[in-house]
Amino acid sequence: MSKSKVNPLAGNRHNQNFSGKKEKLKNPKETINRLLKYLGNKKIALVSIFIFCIITTLVSIVGTKLNGDIIDKYIVVGDMNGLLKICLVLIGMYVIGTITTFIQNRLMVNIAQKTSADIRSDLFENMQNLPLRYFDTSSSGDLMSRLTNDVDNINTTLSQSIAQFFSGIINIFGMLIAMLILSPSLTLIGLITTPIMFLTTRLIMKNTQPFFIKQQNELGKLNGYIEEMVSGQKVTLLFSQEKKAKEEFSKINSNLTKSSIYAQALSGCMGPIMNTISNFTYLILAVSGGYFILSGMDLTVGVVFTIILYMRNFNRPINEMLNIANTIQSALAGAERVFEVIDEEKEEDNKNAIEVNDLYGEVCLKDVDFSYQKDKKILRKINLKASKGQTVAIVGPTGSGKTTIINLLNKFYNIDSGEITIDGEDIKNIKMSSLRKSISIVLQDTFLFSTSVRENIRYGNLNANDKEIKEAAKLANADHFIRQLPDGYDTVLSDNGSNLSHGQRQLLAISRAMLSKSSILILDEATSSIDTRTESHIQEAMGNLMEGKTTFIIAHRLSTIKNADIILAIKDGEVIERGTHNELLENNGFYANLYNSQFRTGLSI
């Protein structure tokens, strides 16, 4: 069982043909509706933005009309006093417009931030409820990209677009009404180019949308690769694969660059094209207005000037909304990726599942079959019974299904057939939270958080006090080395405890498990990569940890399981031998061959 992550040595997995099948939004209408639902609990702020947009538009309409009046009523007749007064009025109106615009933008930023925070919270919360299967088959870097980059795209779009949308709609209708009142004929002439704008926009958006989707997907791949390479940099250096890593990065980075260039370049044409069409509109209005005046129509220079300004204010919101189309497309692509994770099938208990607080620890597996993929059995007819306080060791070649049994005990996966019971109760009927609280696990690869030693141990029981934490550390033989750290229990660990030795990390993991006070203990190859001297300290700590608990041990070093009550030898997903250490040696079968070969060669299996 391994995660499907980016592998720097996996050939050209990421060198996909960029000119492949175009990607499309799966359901843009549904995505927009879901985004609107997040905005539904912010109605008061949205209504306030709408009101301020109306005020801003009214100020703009009146101010534009006054600009025309300046020509006809003051400049033409030479009224300097009147001109001065009207200019002061215009200054006041511009100040009001600036203030209302500032307020509506401030409100929109708050809405956008809170909405993206809600989406981010829902996404993270849902990720906590996803089954292990999902994380085993997903790139952690891509998940991080959805949680950060994609949500940020949504935030940017909301903060830039909604206020512009409200303002734009109000402006369009307001300016249209004002133009029709002044001169219906000039208004209709000015509207001739509007259909051209929409047709041009539709054509550009249709061709850029696949590249925005591609851009978000490639960004997720790049983040996944970077995350993996940072984690595995030591392996890259040890095998001198720096060149290979650079080549792989260049390929992924190139795909992202291409998709971004195509998306941004095509969508970037929209602004200049719209501006050109608008300029032609103003030219047509100026020529038509001049012709009407010279023809003796009841039209003044001030009215023509006002119509042109109105048309500019009419086209401006259209151009703005069209220009942010690329941002909207990017946000929709990101939103779909976010909602894909939110919609993933959650890990749920059965309807009649019960809460169990104090499991006794009697475990039974009966005829258990399991497969990660259909028609590819990993476990076949596994039978096992462990009484309270017994130690069960599971040995076998790599890939035989040892760790899979542990995953099934924790309900990380559901079995295909058979039954797993604890204290006679099928684990299907036990709530996952209470089941996992009753099971402690110490893995070969211990994970430690970038916080203090104290908090890392406390993770086993968040209600534990400092005294209990130190007692757990002493029982785990960890107290001595912890007190030698710069700040003792308050020493903050670096990434995954990289400032500690492997043995020290294991002792902290045992301390954590000790604190959880569970009835069932799982040791998954906990000493396979520890030197012999350190192993003796860890074995003593594990002895304290195992006391009174039903324990399952997966071990490569067979010397560590001599005292197990039951040893299961598994091969190809089947139990081929079972018994005590001495019984299996006497049988001189599979286990005996493994044990003897290990001591002859000094190798682990």
CATH at 589: 3.40.50.300
Identify the three-state secondary structure at position 198. helix
Residue 1 is predicted with a pLDDT of 38
Residue 172 in any domain: the answer is yes
Which tens digit of pLDDT belongs to each residue from 187-211?
Answer: 888 888 888 877 877 777 777 777 7
Q: Taking residues 402-424, what's their average pLDDT?
A: 89
Residue 289 in any domain: the answer is yes
118 and 225 co-located in one domain: yes
Residue 524 in any domain: the answer is no
Split into its structural domains, the chain has a count of: 2
Residue 562 tokens read as 């001599």
Strands 379-386 and 574-579: unpaired
Residue 325 is predicted with a pLDDT of 67
Last residue of a domain, one of 310, 342, 374: 342
What residues make up the domain containing 586? 359-438+558-605
User: Considering the entire predicted model, what is its pTM?
Assistant: 0.69
Which tens digit of pLDDT belongs to each residue from 480-511?
Answer: 889 999 999 999 888 777 778 888 888 888 88
- Bigger pLDDT: 145 vs 118: 118
DSSP state of 500: S
326 and 379 co-located in one domain: no
274 and 226 co-located in one domain: yes
Percentage above 70 pLDDT, the chain: 89
Which tens digit of pLDDT belongs to each residue from 292-337?
Answer: 888 878 788 888 888 888 888 888 877 777 667 667 777 888 888 8
Residue 466 tokens read as 């400092």
Residue 566 is predicted with a pLDDT of 92
Last residue of a domain, one of 342, 369, 389: 342
Residue 61 tokens read as 């309409």
Residue 449 is predicted with a pLDDT of 85
371 and 293 co-located in one domain: no
Residue 518 in any domain: the answer is no
Which tens digit of pLDDT belongs to each residue from 278-293?
Answer: 888 888 888 888 888 8
184 and 297 co-located in one domain: yes
338 and 363 co-located in one domain: no
Residue 454 near residue 520 (C-beta atoms within 8 A): no
Residue 495 in any domain: the answer is no
300 and 389 co-located in one domain: no
Burial 316-348 (b: 16+ CB within 10 A, else e): bbbbbbbbbbbbbbbbbbbbbbbbebbeeeebe
Residue 549 tokens read as 């608990």
Last residue of a domain, one of 275, 309, 342: 342
Consecutive H or E run containing 88: helix 80-128
330 and 373 co-located in one domain: no
364 and 268 co-located in one domain: no
The residue among 215, 167, 205, 185 whose CA lies nearest residue 61 is 167
Q: Taking residues 124-137, what's their average pLDDT?
A: 83
Residue 383 is predicted with a pLDDT of 92
43 and 187 co-located in one domain: yes
User: How far is the C-alpha of 367 from the C-alpha of 94, rounded, in Å?
Assistant: 80
The radius of gyration computed from the CA coordinates of the chain, to the nearest angstrom, equals: 35
What mean pLDDT, rounded, does the chain reach?
81
Residue 238 is predicted with a pLDDT of 58
Asked whether the predicted pLDDT for residue 59 surpasses 60, the reply is yes
The CATH number of residue 310's host domain is 1.20.1560.10
Residue 247 in any domain: the answer is yes
- Cβ count within 10 A of residue 398: 8
335 and 418 co-located in one domain: no
Residue 205 in any domain: the answer is yes
Q: Taking residues 109-134, what's their average pLDDT?
A: 87
Q: Which has the minimum average pLDDT: 110-114, 219-223, 531-535?
A: 531-535
Most confidently modeled of 208-222, 345-359, 454-468?
A: 454-468
190 and 54 co-located in one domain: yes
Residue 143 in any domain: the answer is yes
